[in-house]
Chain A
């Protein structure tokens, strides 16, 4: 193992490969900061560049873009309340509140360092136990997915700042929005009103940009004075010792959730960021601070999405299964070089496997070195007067929404959700549970249908599979504990 890793480093540390890793990381950070044009599209555009490269160099560069984007994705979430990538939607919740309190530097710093720690832990996990984990990912069938997603949904209530009831209402609306498009079994159209743009459903990045970014601008326009935070200067640029004390546990737990949930193909990174946040809020001694600028609320999801971006390589490198669109593009790059990742990759092309793993260690250092100095620069951006900054937010959102599918329809969708988000804010309805339910709803429905069809309609399948039964038990506990504590506090009051 160590010899293999050493030979991997000897490949990753050649000047050319270092340069490719650096280029990928810088480009990834840039596209992560700019929402819309995501890593898959960027990798697709750069694919022709890799025709003339060594296969391992191609993987090093493209992987750099992918995890660089995960690092950069938090920046606009924290500074402007625009989630640039799917994995950083949750980061908006507390990251942007910290910015409003004048602590943007601390939030960005924790995000960068938390990402580094999580990324490194992820790579260590990847190099030690990937074959075992790949097998675990394969065992995860429709029943297990259903139970996991149900568990994720019970956590939606923890994403709402105030009233749990309002959180549940928003979750229900999110589930309904998730049903727009083709039904997974028959391919019948639902709520599409004959508009072909709706047959693939609504893109949740577009919806999130409206609900968070545009709604925030509308809200701020009401206040005649500038938002306090945006006037404060550089002070408090880096996380304090107090921040560290609060965050190290969140980073560790976030890394674990990200690593294990991120292995699952299809939305692992996003789900893990929500789960990590909800768990921190659940176990925190000060849950009321979440949603109002808790540093742990940034540390946990950022750690999770970076650990997940590393572990999502495991199914690709050990089984040839691409877990998401970015990884699928990297698979394509390898295939162009005649390498077909699969069960035999480690045996047949150890240089590619270990070179790629070693480059991830190197890439994580590069990203930290790149991002920490940038924190000061980003914070300075906030000194731009708000009337100009607001315009910038709107432009970024419009360009971002357009570039997701090259579609002006999406720009319209984003604007509609921006206005809706503004109205919902006025009523104190939180947006995050809606987004979570919108992402999870289609996975929930598909896995329910798959499990029920394969069991010929027998619902016991969810209890017969041990992993599924375990997840359901946890979901039941999560759903019931607030009731128990409510009953207890009621009794205490009565006595």
Chain B
């Protein structure tokens, strides 16, 4: 049934092409494969998600999406390349908060919403605060109280300067006034190892990184930094519920060079939406421990801009 539907669509679009139907640019776009630049390394969550979603691109876009990895500079190299590319819709970027928001907002490197246009958000992974089960604090509130009673004693493991963990921990510290030792790590994997080995007391990482250790009883979740609770952890409160309003989306989305014509953006956004609704794609995303949280160009643009402004303000106030 679904197969038949696909063939019919393909047949109709072929017919439409032959008849020169529509005539507008949007109907003609795309006439060749679209290149998606991923500015991070092979096998990261961005790479995996992009490959899963675009695996069915041919069916919904009419042309395949070619993935090109351009790692380096924390994502700056690939982002710069797309920002400079011809805004014809054929070169787009796989964006993420590190290289598309924080780096440009805080360090002025890479490219943010001033240089790129939003197409859509595919999804995001919520991040979580976790500790060892034997820690003297059992909840997020207790951890804050403990840190206040023992100023400068709590050892926090971040995932690199200005990573999601570093940024949110600094936010939490600023709101609650706690003092701690903020130890840098080379990514979320190493900070999780440090937490498991007892070298740090608390760490923040995507829930997907922590889940197997929580299930095995090796780690205790304290709070989720999201608007709502994570369906995989219905008992774990959000930080907001615990009185500390810190939210972070580790998002993945499509971005285009500034000035890409609106009809092309919409065409790409619609195709992406259909790809994320494909059953095989949804199954793959589920196996990574994530969900689809699609946002179209306008809504996503607003969320992204707000995030950029927040990080800019945080960067200016925390950098001292």
Chain A residues within 8 Å of B, Cβ to Cβ? 40-41, 43-44, 47-48, 138-142, 182-187, 196-197, 199-200, 265-266, 315, 319-322, 325, 328-329, 332, 335-338, 340-344, 405-407, 446, 449-450, 453-454, 456
Contact = CB atoms under 8 A, between A and B. Distances in A.
Given A142-B183, A196-B109, A344-B216, 18 more contacts: A41-B42, A44-B43, A44-B47, A141-B197, A182-B161, A187-B161, A197-B77, A200-B72, A328-B43, A406-B69, A446-B184, A449-B184, A453-B182, A453-B184, A454-B155, A454-B199, A456-B152, A456-B181
Residue of B72, B190, B216 with most chain A CB atoms under a 10 A cut-off: B72
Given A182-B74, A342-B212, A44 B42 contact: yes
Contacts of A266: 186, 190
A40 B42 CA distance: 7
Contacts of B192: 321
Nearest to A329: B43
Contact of A343 (B42, B74, B212, B288): B212
Among A48, A265, A343, the one with the most B-chain Cβ atoms within 10 Å of its Cβ is: A343
B47 to A, nearest CB: 7
A446 B198 CA distance: 18
Nearest to A41: B42
B3 to A, nearest CB: 18
A142 B160 CA distance: 15
A450 B185 contact: yes
A235 to B, nearest CB: 44
B72 A196 contact: yes
B92 interface: no
Contacts of A138: 193, 196-198
Interface in B206-227: 211-213, 215-216, 218
Interface of B: 41-43, 47-48, 51, 55, 68-74, 76-77, 80, 107, 109, 152, 155, 160-162, 181-186, 189-190, 192-194, 196-200, 211-213, 215-216, 218, 284, 287-289
Contacts of A47: 43, 51
Contacts of B284: 336
A137 to B, nearest CB: 8
A405 B72 contact: yes
Contacts of A139: 197
A454 B199 CA distance: 8
B186 A446 contact: yes
A338 B51 CA distance: 17
A217 B199 CA distance: 47
B184 A450 contact: yes
Given A196-B73, A196-B80, A199-B72, A265 B184 contact: no
Contact of B77 (A40, A187, A196, A319): A196
Contact of A325 (B41, B55, B74): B41
Contacts of A343: 212-213, 216, 218
A407 B72 contact: yes
Nearest to A331: B43
A453 B184 CA distance: 9
Contacts of A44: 42-43, 47
A329 B42 contact: yes
Contacts of B213: 320, 342-343
Contacts of B80: 196
A401 to B, nearest CB: 14
Given A44-B43, A332-B43, A405-B71, A196 B76 contact: yes
A138 B197 CA distance: 5
Contacts of B47: 44
A336 to B, nearest CB: 5
Contacts of B41: 40, 325
A335 B208 CA distance: 11
